[in-house]
Amino acid sequence: MDEDELTERVLAAEEKLGEAYQLLGEVRDELKAAGRKKDYQALNEVLDRLGRYGRMLGEMRASWGAPLD
């Protein structure tokens, strides 16, 4: 697998994480409005993790353009 194909796959994964983040954020907001505090707080943790994973993939992809040590 060449670097362009890897980049495309990582970009696709980042996009799917972003979609999941958006959808779960909407669900969290609905749970909050319904007064389901424990449930929406649990989704906060999930959203934090998804955000970290997305940033990690972006940083990894960006590092591919940097010279190797």
| C-alpha 30, offset from chain centre | 20
Q: Structural domain of residue 50, as residue ranges?
A: 3-59
Which residues in the chain come in under a pLDDT of 70? 66-69
Domain total in the chain: 1
Q: Is residue 64 part of a domain?
A: no
pTM for the structure as a whole: 0.83
33-52 pLDDT tens trace: 999 999 999 999 999 999 99
| C-alpha 16, offset from chain centre | 7
Structure confidence at residue 66 (pLDDT):
67
d(CA 54, CA 58): 6
Structure confidence at residue 3 (pLDDT):
82
Q: Is residue 41 part of a domain?
A: yes
Structure confidence at residue 1 (pLDDT):
77
Ordered DSSP codes for 4-61: HHHHHHHHHHHHHHHHHHHHHHHHHHHHHHTT-HHHHHHHHHHHHHHHHHHHHHHHHH
Q: Is residue 67 part of a domain?
A: no
Q: Is residue 8 part of a domain?
A: yes
